[in-house]
């Protein structure tokens, strides 16, 4: 495996990136059109969310055919051109592999429904309990039970997500072979990156049992057999190449498993996404609530993952945003008063950590949550399920909408804000999801806020290329107990990189110990201009700064 520690990956959500045919939905041609923009940013790889044939109940994560392109997004010609044109700019593609489940529209599920036993064994079908209740008491991650009736039979099929996303039976070797074939299909087309959707929940037991907590996660998350499956997936597909980068999306995982998934000697994946740090504004662990984020908890979690993975030789994907997460600047900063400082501080926190940074479209220009007032302006299936559920519980409309404005997965999915023209230059038609009101000031052509943020991202990306210490340095926390600053030190050979990130709008002070002051400090990057390291170091609101220290 060639090293990928110098790389930065950009996530483009095809549906919302750029529409070229006026149907209100982004397309592959749109991505081709914007390659110069991405090249200028300096990124190495583009992760594209699913664009395969799909009924779009879960925006493409309900795949109806793994080796197809939905006409909604374009043609094979567009895809080949995208690979070629991106390649010319030194950019490769990472595709999203959704191997835990298929759409119920997939040919396999349809054949299963028609009574074909071979295909029934592709899915997880079980009889209800003798008392007529469901096979187990597990919950779907999108709300409601994880089982739905399998046609007119006595059986039910398992769906950990939407009821139109049926979980595949990985215990069946034929299923695994079919999935590997699909992965190889894309590798042969020149794809150099693979993102595996919720890959740590593929290993279900033969005997499924009720969960004591009535939710069921522990019955299928990080089960030992998942590691065997991933090793086999590696051997049968991307492990045959030495330049393919992989990342596994890990739901509710642990550092111990994270190490297993990503340590090179285990031949599983290059790195993993974990999400604990993005739950620090969940009241009592509940997503559909609002509360100010718990900063000390955030630091504790980032630190635990950084240190754990460093010691265990694992590798983190480092990120704040993706298509499922509310915008981090709206969540952890002050986009009203400090839009540039917030965005650049958050960016620097991640980009100088040990791991591979992922940028989600629009964060590089400071896009924010849209805060739509009307539930009908939201499209996401999980959001609507949550709305109905909260209504059933009798919560007041205003409280429900507040939770949705803060937590909906549509927050990051609004169209990319290219310019200040109608629909932010995303489409000439009607966008599938509304454009946030602030597009006239927050867009790629804006010469103030958005430009400053983007220029900072460019610098961070370039610094990673120039400095081995950013790519390979070890990690240790610095003053972890500080109430408003997350600081850390990376170290390689006789160099140290001291990074201080201030998460609040009051001034903050840091005591810099003599051992560090005795080293030769070179200002590397900061969002408040050049600074000198001194014993009582004062940070401005949302200031971020990094010093390179040499003996
Ligand atoms: C995780 C994806 O990121 C999310 O968007 C999707 O709904 C679920 N997996 C189910 O595929």
Query: How many angstroms is it from 436 CA to the middle of ligand 1?
Result: 23
Q: Is 304 a catalytic residue?
A: no
User: Residue 439 to residues 274, 329, 378: CA-CA distances in angstroms?
Assistant: 31, 16, 18
Residues 488 and 361 occupy one common structural domain: no
Q: Note whether residue 20 is domain-resident.
A: yes
Query: How many angstroms is it from 161 CA to the middle of ligand 1?
Result: 8
Q: Is residue 360 in contact with ligand 1, taking CB distance under 6 Å?
A: no
Task: Give CA–CA dist 245/239, Å, rounded.
Answer: 10
Residues 322 and 429 occupy one common structural domain: yes
Residues 319 and 452 occupy one common structural domain: yes
In this prediction, residue 502 carries a pLDDT of 98
End residue of a domain, out of 405, 430, 461? 461
Query: How many angstroms is it from 51 CA to the middle of ligand 1?
Result: 13
Query: How many angstroms is it from 412 CA to the middle of ligand 1?
Result: 14
In this prediction, residue 1 carries a pLDDT of 61
Domain that holds residue 31: 9-101+176-380+415-461
End residue of a domain, out of 129, 144, 167? 167
Q: What are the start-end ranges of the E strands in 277-426?
A: 317-318, 356-360
Residue 393 makes CB contacts below 8 A (sequence gap 6+) with none
Instruction: Output DSSP code: residue 240.
Output: G
In this prediction, residue 2 carries a pLDDT of 64
Q: Note whether residue 385 is domain-resident.
A: no
Q: What is the CATH number of the domain that holds 152?
A: 3.90.400.10
Residues 230 and 250 occupy one common structural domain: yes
Q: Note whether residue 82 is domain-resident.
A: yes
Q: What is the CATH number of the domain that holds 240?
A: 3.20.20.80
Q: What is the CATH number of the domain that holds 527?
A: 2.60.40.1180
Residues 271 and 351 occupy one common structural domain: yes
Probe target for ligand 1 pocket from 197, 325, 360, with the most ligand atoms within 8 Å of CB: 197
Residues 302 and 221 occupy one common structural domain: yes
Query: Beta 485-492 vs 495-502: how paired, if at all?
Result: antiparallel
Instruction: Give which of 51, 102, 99 is closest to 73, Cα–Cα.
Output: 51
pTM over 0.95: yes
Task: Give CA–CA dist 156/147, Å, rounded.
Answer: 6
CA angle (181, 183, 188) in 5-degree steps: 90
In this prediction, residue 3 carries a pLDDT of 85
Active-site pick, 27, 96, 249, 341: 249
Residues 125 and 152 occupy one common structural domain: yes
Residues 489 and 347 occupy one common structural domain: no
Q: Is 197 a catalytic residue?
A: yes
Alpha helix stretches (DSSP H) within 484-545: 514-517
Q: Note whether residue 390 is domain-resident.
A: no
All residue ranges of the chain with pLDDT < 70 are 1-2
Q: Is residue 58 in contact with ligand 1, taking CB distance under 6 Å?
A: yes
Residues 266 and 285 occupy one common structural domain: yes
Q: Note whether residue 353 is domain-resident.
A: yes
Residues 291 and 155 occupy one common structural domain: no
Residues 65 and 207 occupy one common structural domain: yes
End residue of a domain, out of 402, 433, 461? 461
Residues 271 and 141 occupy one common structural domain: no
| Contact of 329 with 449, CB cutoff 8 Å | no
């Amino acid at each position: 495996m060639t090293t990928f520690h110098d790389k930065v990956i950009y996530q483009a959500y095809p549906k919302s990136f750029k529409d070229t045919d006026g149907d209100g939905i982004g397309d592959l041609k749109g991505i081709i059109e914007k390659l110069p923009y991405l090249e200028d940013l300096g990124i190495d790889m583009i992760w594209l969310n699913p664009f395969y044939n799909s009924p779009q109940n879960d925006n493409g994560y309900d795949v109806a055919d793994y080796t197809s392109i939905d006409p909604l997004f374009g043609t094979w010609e567009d895809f080949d051109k995208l690979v070629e044109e991106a390649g010319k700019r030194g950019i490769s593609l990472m595709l999203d592999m959704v191997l835990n489940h298929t759409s119920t529209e997939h040919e396999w599920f349809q054949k299963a429904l028609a009574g074909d036993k071979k295909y029934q064994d592709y899915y997880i079908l079980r009889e209800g309990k003798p008392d007529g209740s469901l096979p187990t008491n597990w919950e779907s991650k999108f709300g409601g039970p994880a089982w739905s009736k399998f046609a007119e039979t006595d059986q039910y099929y398992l769906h950990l997500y939407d009821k139109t996303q049926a979980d595949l039976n990985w215990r069946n070797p034929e299923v695994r072979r079919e999935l590997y074939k699909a992965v190889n299909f894309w590798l042969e087309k020149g794809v150099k990156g693979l993102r595996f959707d919720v890959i740590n929940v593929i290993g279900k037991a033969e005997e499924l049992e009720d969960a004591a907590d009535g939710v069921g996660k522990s019955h299928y998350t990080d089960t030992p057999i998942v590691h065997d499956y991933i090793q086999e997936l590696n051997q049968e597909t991307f492990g045959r190449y030495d330049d393919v980068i992989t990342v596994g999306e890990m739901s509710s995982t642990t550092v111990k498993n994270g190490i297993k998934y990503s340590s090179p000697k285990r031949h599983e994946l290059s790195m993993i996404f974990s999400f604990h740090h993005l739950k620090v504004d969940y009241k009592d662990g509940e997503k559909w609530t609002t509360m100010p984020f718990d900063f000390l908890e955030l630091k504790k979690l980032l630190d635990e993952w950084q240190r754990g993975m460093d010691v265990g030789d694992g590798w983190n994907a480092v990120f704040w945003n993706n298509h499922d997460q509310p915008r981090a600047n709206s969540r952890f900063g002050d986009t009203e008063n400090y839009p540039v400082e917030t965005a650049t501080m958050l960016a620097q926190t991640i980009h100088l950590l040990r791991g591979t940074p992922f940028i989600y479209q629009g964060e590089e220009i400071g896009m924010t949550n849209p805060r739509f007032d009307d539930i009908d302006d939201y499209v996401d299936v999980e959001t609507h399920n949550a709305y109905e559920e909260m209504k059933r519980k009798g919560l007041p409309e205003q409280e429900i909408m507040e939770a949705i404005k803060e937590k909906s997965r549509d927050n990051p999915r609004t169209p990319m804000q290219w310019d200040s023209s109608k629909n932010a230059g995303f489409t000439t038609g009607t966008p599938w999801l509304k454009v946030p009101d602030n597009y006239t000031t927050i867009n790629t052509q804006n010469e103030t806020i958005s430009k400053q943020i983007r220029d900072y991202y460019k610098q961070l990306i370039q610094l990673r290329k120039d400095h081995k210490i950013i790519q390979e340095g070890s990690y240790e926390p610095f003053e972890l107990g500080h109430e408003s600053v997350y600081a850390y030190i990376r170290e390689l050979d006789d160099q140290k990189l001291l990074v201080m990130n201030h998460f609040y709008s009051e001034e903050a002070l840091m005591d810099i110990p003599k051992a560090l002051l005795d080293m030769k400090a070179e200002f590397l990057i900061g969002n408040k201009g050049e600074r000198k390291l001194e014993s009582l170091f004062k940070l401005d609101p949302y200031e971020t700064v990094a010093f390179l220290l040499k003996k």
